[in-house]
Amino acid sequence: MRGVVMHAPGDVRVEQREDPRIIHPTDAVIRLSATCVCGSDLWPYRGVETVGGPTPMGHEYVGVVEEVGSEVTSIQPGQFVVGSFFASDNTCEICRAGYQPSCVHRVGMGALGCQAERLRVPLADGTLVATPGTPDDDLIPSLLAASDVLGTGWFGAVAAQAGPGRTVAVVGDGAVGLLAVLAARQLGAERIIAMSRHEPRQKLAAEFGATDIVTERGDEGVARIKELTDGLGAHSVIEAVGTQESMMQAIRSTRPGGHVGFVGVSHDVALEGQELFFSHVHLHGGPAPVRQYLPELIDLIWQRKIDPGKVFDLTLPLDQAAEAYRAMDERRAIKALLRV
Amino acid sequence: MRGVVMHAPGDVRVEQREDPRIIHPTDAVIRLSATCVCGSDLWPYRGVETVGGPTPMGHEYVGVVEEVGSEVTSIQPGQFVVGSFFASDNTCEICRAGYQPSCVHRVGMGALGCQAERLRVPLADGTLVATPGTPDDDLIPSLLAASDVLGTGWFGAVAAQAGPGRTVAVVGDGAVGLLAVLAARQLGAERIIAMSRHEPRQKLAAEFGATDIVTERGDEGVARIKELTDGLGAHSVIEAVGTQESMMQAIRSTRPGGHVGFVGVSHDVALEGQELFFSHVHLHGGPAPVRQYLPELIDLIWQRKIDPGKVFDLTLPLDQAAEAYRAMDERRAIKALLRV
């Protein structure tokens, strides 16, 4: 089969890879309908993370089940499924508490290379959720978004306790930040401040429910959030970047007693203890338990109540993955979908 | 009046200080019954924090109101009162959300020097809570504990979401750590693991409700907590020290999705973003909103349901403050009470 392989920073190729097959009786093999490039794929692409030799890429996927192992009971060949970027048993104590990416049997899907024609999904019963039927073609981008960026933005909003009566600020205007706006709106937040200086992203943020746009960053961005919140800061701040600057912008934009939900994968971040201590914020985040939210998110998409697929502003065939990476790296695209 | 003044690390003296008086119409002046030395007073005593010239010391106090300003309405001369180590208006939005130490009008009581015969308390209505009557002498240590260490341990337990069905671990066996054990028990925690290698403190922890004692520290301590919790870590961990080692011990002892309540004042702590991200813990802490808990804590003490005053294992007259500091510095005493 064909699949995306990164050879070095900036060097992404579509190559022949070995066909996946059932290895464990709890596996499924799916034929992908679509996959996509994640903001976190850009870290190795930009050389910020090391690329240790040719590496299959991608961790977002939707598709049709082709085959299941002998112990799989809840998923059948022919079903259209969405899965999370962490395979999880969904039965251990950590999963039952809602933290599937920390499942005691977790498998990171990135290692399996989901930007490909076919994919082995471990722990299929605990990882995959079937849609009510075969989706209309126009629903596929939204269902694909649910497998990571929507679920991640959703977790950010939940971790930040976005909800009725609360003012929410979102740091980061990538797909996750934009979908955190959508999530905050769905969760009933009163006021949603998107921090963005890019017009197309501001427009999408407004479409997803942002009530205010702040273009300033860093300490100036913090000052602007304080101005908009009687000098106190927002109740809920979602961090969707992962840098030192964005984390500090998030923490400092939050009022004492408020909540920071951080979902940008941290890179070279060090939080100074004393500032955190006196900030009085709640801090929670990490890899999103997408699996926990999938049934609800699929339902919202199926009923066409939300349209998270709008974050895909570039659609290319799998073979043009290199251009998809380039477009996202150069910020010409918010997020690139690869049709398989 | 006499009061404790620190001149340099290790140099604590009882000297004549100016008598406090009403400055603002919202002030009260109280005559102290007792005050005490805090673990955080040891930071400058040990030279870890700078002492910038002669500094009045202390932020814990109970006593009798002598005089109130013209705008004080809820407190009267003659009443016995307990106050927090932060004066707060208790009416602003931050106070109403329960975060009085971050009150928009807060005053740190440490700057006023509470290890003294008399004390000016700003924002008396929002800061002081009167007891139901003049307390019996044997209740004074417990009421004094409520002004900081009990309230701080309580906040640690609340921030860590100690409660029914949860396993709680406490890092730190100073007065705050020991009272966090008491708080966790009061909040209904099922299992409470005190981390301590000092026999008298282990005994007091057990008396306050600890079900298990772990003597190992650092990574070995973490391994022991995991052993006791099916390899997962505790649901709730209270950090009551404030060092890099104790913070990492707390975070690593917590299961994914669990809660860390950190109340040890942070010194030279830097939390690495990626480890925090993948730990999946909730992190909350800072200066305890003692004022929020005072009515409940005074009630529990008044009804003799809890006896937090047991943390005072040394009682000296105010004049012997230097010996009180020495005894705590050398860990001969858990906490020293100064009778005024």
pLDDT in tens, B155-198: 999 999 999 999 999 999 999 999 999 999 999 999 999 999 99
* pLDDT band at A324; cut points 50, 70, 90: very high
Judging contacts by C-beta atoms under 8 Å, the chain B residues touching residue A244 are: 273
Q: Which of B99, B274, B285 sits opposite A277 (nearest CB)?
A: B285
Q: Which of B242, B268, B280 sits opposite A102 (nearest CB)?
A: B280
Q: Mean pLDDT throughout A29-58?
A: 95
Residue with token string 């407190």: B75
CB pairs under 8 A between A and B: 117
Two structure tokens written together for B234: 């505790």
> How large a percentage of chain B has pLDDT more than 90?
98
CA pseudo-torsion sign B47, B52, B54, B60: negative
Distance, CA of B22 to CA of B120 (rounded, Å): 7
Distance, CA of B301 to CA of B297 (rounded, Å): 6
Judging contacts by C-beta atoms under 8 Å, the chain A residues touching residue B93 are: 230, 232
Q: CA B296, B187, B89, B30: dihedral to nearest 10 degrees?
A: 50
Separate counts of helices (H) and strands (E) for chain A? 12, 19
What was the pLDDT predicted at A75? 97
Two structure tokens written together for B170: 């406490």
Q: What single DSSP character describes residue B57? A: -
> pLDDT tens digits for B312-329?
999 999 999 999 999 999
Separate counts of helices (H) and strands (E) for chain B? 12, 19
- The minimum CA-CA distance between B273 and chain A, rounded to whole Å, is 5
**First-to-last CA distance in chain A?**
11
What was the pLDDT predicted at B315? 98
* pLDDT band at A337; cut points 50, 70, 90: very high
Judging contacts by C-beta atoms under 8 Å, the chain B residues touching residue A276 are: 266, 271, 283, 286
Q: Which of B262, B269, B277 sits opposite A286 (nearest CB)?
A: B277
What was the pLDDT predicted at B93? 98
Q: Which of A277, A282, A283 sits opposite B266 (nearest CB)?
A: A277
Cα B266 to Cα A190, A279, B246, distances in angstroms: 34, 12, 10
Q: Residue A278 and residue B287: Cβ atoms within 8 Å?
A: yes
CB B146 within 8 A of CB B81: no
Residue with token string 């692409």: A45
Distance, CA of A328 to CA of A310 (rounded, Å): 15
- The minimum CA-CA distance between A149 and chain B, rounded to whole Å, is 17
A257: nearest CA partner in chain B: B99
> pLDDT tens digits for B228-246?
999 999 999 999 999 999 9
> pLDDT tens digits for A114-161?
999 999 999 999 999 999 999 999 999 999 999 999 999 999 999 999
> pLDDT tens digits for B120-134?
999 999 999 999 999
What was the pLDDT predicted at B295? 98
Residues on A contacting B at a C-beta cutoff of 8 Å: 93-94, 97-99, 101-102, 104, 230-232, 242, 244, 247, 255-257, 262, 265-274, 276-287
What was the pLDDT predicted at A227? 98
Q: Residue A99 and residue B273: Cβ atoms within 8 Å?
A: no
| ipTM, interface predicted TM-score of the complex | 0.96
The mean pLDDT value of chain A amounts to 97
Q: Residue A274 and residue B285: Cβ atoms within 8 Å?
A: no
Beta strands in B229-297 (DSSP E): 234-239, 254-262, 270-272, 282-285
Classify burial at A138, counting beta carbons within 10 Å of its beta carbon; exposed 0-12, middle 13-18, buried 19 or more. Answer: exposed
B160: nearest CA partner in chain A: A282
Q: Residue B93 and residue A269: Cβ atoms within 8 Å?
A: no
* pLDDT band at B34; cut points 50, 70, 90: very high
Q: Residue A232 and residue B93: Cβ atoms within 8 Å?
A: yes
Two structure tokens written together for A78: 């022919």
What was the pLDDT predicted at B188? 98
Buried/exposed B33-69: b ≥16 CB within 10 Å, e otherwise: bbbbbbbbbbbbbeeeeebeeebbbbbbbbbebebbb
> How large a percentage of chain A has pLDDT more than 70?
100
What was the pLDDT predicted at B338? 98
What was the pLDDT predicted at A224? 98
Q: Mean pLDDT throughout B255-259?
A: 98
3-class SS of residue A41: helix
CB B116 within 8 A of CB B3: yes
Two structure tokens written together for A75: 């998923």
Residue with token string 């700057």: B111
Q: Residue B277 and residue A285: Cβ atoms within 8 Å?
A: yes
Two structure tokens written together for B50: 């700078």
The mean pLDDT value of chain B amounts to 97
Q: Mean pLDDT throughout B300-304?
A: 98
Residues on B contacting A at a C-beta cutoff of 8 Å: 93-94, 97-99, 101-102, 104, 230-232, 242, 244, 247, 255-257, 262, 265-274, 276-287
3-class SS of residue A59: coil
Judging contacts by C-beta atoms under 8 Å, the chain A residues touching residue B266 are: 273-274, 276-277
Judging contacts by C-beta atoms under 8 Å, the chain B residues touching residue A266 are: 273-274, 276-277
A259: nearest CA partner in chain B: B284
Distance, CA of B93 to CA of B82 (rounded, Å): 23
Q: Residue A102 and residue B256: Cβ atoms within 8 Å?
A: yes
CA pseudo-torsion sign B274, B275, B278, B284: negative
Q: Which of B161, B245, B271, B275 to substitute to test the interface with A, most A CBs within 10 Å?
A: B271
Name all domains of chain A by residue range, CATH numbers in brackets.
2-148+289-339 (3.90.180.10), 153-285 (3.40.50.720)
Q: Residue B242 and residue A270: Cβ atoms within 8 Å?
A: no
Residue B338 host element (H or E)? strand B335-339
C-alpha angle with apex A116: A111 to A117, nearest 5 degrees? 135
A270: nearest CA partner in chain B: B272
Q: Mean pLDDT throughout A208-235?
A: 97
Q: Which of B270, B274, B280 sits opposite A99 (nearest CB)?
A: B280
What was the pLDDT predicted at A142? 98
Query: Which residue type is seen at A189?
Result: A
Q: How many CB atoms lie within 10 A of CB A249?
A: 26
